Each structure stands twice: as C-alpha cells, then as structure tokens.
C-alpha cells in the first residue's frame, strides 16, 4: 500500500516516560477499550476494540472476522476507495472498513498517533452520529506519551481541488485550523460558516458532539442503494420533507451543528494523511470525495509539504497528555 508519509516516520517499539520536553512526543492509548453499535450504512451490529500500539504503527484496522483475524486495513489516504456518504478504506486484498471519519476525527482530536483497532464487521459503529462517544472511550482508556517525537505534515504552499462550486484547499499556517462553508436550499440549514482553531484542544468542546445529518425524503433512495440502513433519529439529525424542520425531539446540539459536523468529517478525513497537519483547511460545500482528492493532490506535489517534528510550545503543540488521561 502506498504510504509515503508513514515510510518517513521514525520507527521504535519502546514506550517510555520521555525526559526531553523540547518536542512533543507521539501518543497511544494507555489501555484497550471497546464498544458495540450498528453501522450507519450497513445497519449491521459490530463490535470494535481500540488497542495501544507501538511507535511507527500509525492507525490501523484489523478485521477479526476475516482471514483468522489477520486482515489489516491501514487508515491512510491511499486506501480510500469509496467516498459515497462516508470514507471507506480497502486494503490490497479487497478487505474494507467503512465510515471511519468520525473515529478518525476523535483520534485526531485526542492526538493519538498509534492505535490498532480491531473490528468484526465492515463498518465502524455510528454510535450517536458524532465523535463524542469515541472521544469518551479514548479518555476512559487514557493517553500515554511514547519515546519518539511526534511528526507532523507542514503545508509549504497552497494546494486546492475543485468540483464545480465545491472547493477544498490547504494553505500554510502555524497550527491546524479549519474554515468551512455550506449552503443548502433547506431553510433548516441555509448558509452556515464556521472557523475553528484546532491546535489547542478545541475539537472536544466546539466540534466533537456535532452529528451527521440527512433529509427525510432521501432515506428511501439511500437505502435502495445500500446506504443509511442503520440511520435513525438516534444517530443523525434528520430534516423533514419540507426542509424547514429538524425532526429530532432534542433539537440541535449547536445552533450551527450542520457546518460543525462538516468540520468534524474534514478533520477525520484529513487525519488519513498519516500524521497531523500543520496548515489551514478551507472547505466550501465539499465532502469526503474532495477531501481525499485534496490529500492526493498534496502528496503528488513533493514541494507542497514537509515532515517536521512538533516543537513543545508551538502553535501546533497539543495539550499535555496527562491533562486528558484517566487512570
């Protein structure tokens, strides 16, 4: 599997309490933790367990229901093969893991660099349609620093991709920030725009609880095409057939929850770069397909990025691991 970023990352199998505080160190989970739920698109029940992993592992899925539990699917941009309503990964043997973006966003938000994810089905459980349940799992498991310095992908020059009025771009910036714009004919959504600086822990409070959303009149079509079979008011915000009303009894979690969920999706999709980004992402009406095309365009241009060590105290440095770990 082509992974030019992972191939450049330093490898080490040791975990330790690191004395050098001039740089940020890579992170993994303190202990294993799991959950059970249904797939948003498949509707199938699935169990998933997140495990600590050694330095250099990156984020990997292991389908325990295939090949005696040995089917590995790397969470990397080059493995994305289907972007219809989700980001679906496929390895060289054709084994797939779908709807990875909400989990990837949580791993990005918690600055987890190395994790092995065991799953017994073809799709990550949707839970409540946001990243919050996965964030909770990681906080319960705890976070530990590892021996190797954390590596990030620093954007050196603007890169953009476009499909009609849909645009996705990356530009140089000292940390990681996202601006997203959406515009729907539905009066329940209309035009929304948000900017979030995600370099210092804002993902949890500002983005993580935003749920996926859809329209009541699209449900039959999606299910006929093998999508949204597990979707319900328990795991998605649903807009009624008039486009003017949210059907969920509990309403919205943020006044602009729709655009914040698009930020959540983008954070998850971009973490498939293989390392955190140092740069600014701007999305205009874009989705999983364009997010992946943007990463492919980025890595096709060797002059557009460089791999760098994250310095402690820099704009790209995350909050200390111990502030989020649970014993």
The answer to whether residue 288 is catalytic is yes
**Token pair in block for residue 3:** 């992974």
- Residue 263: name the closest of 195, 309, 318, 213 by CA: 195
Transcribe 52-89 into DSSP letters: E--TT--EEEEETTSGGGTEEEE-SGGGEEE-SSS-EE
Identified catalytic residue from 25, 51, 282, 288: 288
Whether 66 contacts 153, CB under 8 Å: no
Whether 152 contacts 23, CB under 8 Å: no
Cα separation of 196 and 40, whole Å?
27
Q: What angle do CA 304, 305, 310 make, to 5 degrees?
A: 155
Cα separation of 190 and 183, whole Å?
5
Whether 26 contacts 114, CB under 8 Å: yes
- Residue 82: name the closest of 257, 269, 211 by CA: 269
Contacts of 142 (CB under 8 A, 6+ apart): 29, 30, 31, 325, 326, 327
In the beta sheet, which residues pair with residue 47? 36
Whether 281 contacts 177, CB under 8 Å: yes
**Residue 13 half-sphere exposure toward CB, CA atoms < 13 A:** 0
Transcribe 158-196 into DSSP letters: -EEEEETTEEEEEE--SSEEEEEEEE-SSTTT-EEEEEE
DSSP H stretches of helix in 12-89: none
In the beta sheet, which residues pair with residue 115? 52, 59
- Cite the active site residues: 288
């Amino acid at each position: 599997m082509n992974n030019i970023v992972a191939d450049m990352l330093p490898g080490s199998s040791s975990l330790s309490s690191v004395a050098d505080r001039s740089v940020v160190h890579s992170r993994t989970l303190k202990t294993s933790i799991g959950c059970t739920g249904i797939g948003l698109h498949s509707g199938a029940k699935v169990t998933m367990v997140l495990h600590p992993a050694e330095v250099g592992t990156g984020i990997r899925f292991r389908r325990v229901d295939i090949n005696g539990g040995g089917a590995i699917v790397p969470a990397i941009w080059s493995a994305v093969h289907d972007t219809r309503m989700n980001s679906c990964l496929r390895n060289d043997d054709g084994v797939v893991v779908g709807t990875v973006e909400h989990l990837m966003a949580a791993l990005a938000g918690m600055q987890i660099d190395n994790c092995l994810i065991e799953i017994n089905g073809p799709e990550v459980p949707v839970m409540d349609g946001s990243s919050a349940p996965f964030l909770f799992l990681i906080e319960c498991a705890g976070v530990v620093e590892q021996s190797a310095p954390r590596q990030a992908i620093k954007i050196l020059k603007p890169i953009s991709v476009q499909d009609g009025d849909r645009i996705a771009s990356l530009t140089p910036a000292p940390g990681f920030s996202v601006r997203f714009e959406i515009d729907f004919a539905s009066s329940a959504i209309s035009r929304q725009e948000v900017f979030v600086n995600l370099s210092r822990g804002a993902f949890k409070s500002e983005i993580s609880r935003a749920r996926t959303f859809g329209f009541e009149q699209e449900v039959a079509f999606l299910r006929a095409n093998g999508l949204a079979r597990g979707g319900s008011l328990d795991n998605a915000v649903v807009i009624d057939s008039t486009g003017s009303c949210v059907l969920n009894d509990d309403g919205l979690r943020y006044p602009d929850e729709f655009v914040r969920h698009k930020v959540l999706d983008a954070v998850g999709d971009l973490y498939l770069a293989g390392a955190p980004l140092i740069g600014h992402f701007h999305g205009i009406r874009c989705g999983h397909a364009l997010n992946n095309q943007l990463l492919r365009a980025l890595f096709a241009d060797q002059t557009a990025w460089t791999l760098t060590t994250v310095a402690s105290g820099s704009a790209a440095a995350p909050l200390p691991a111990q502030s989020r770990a649970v014993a």
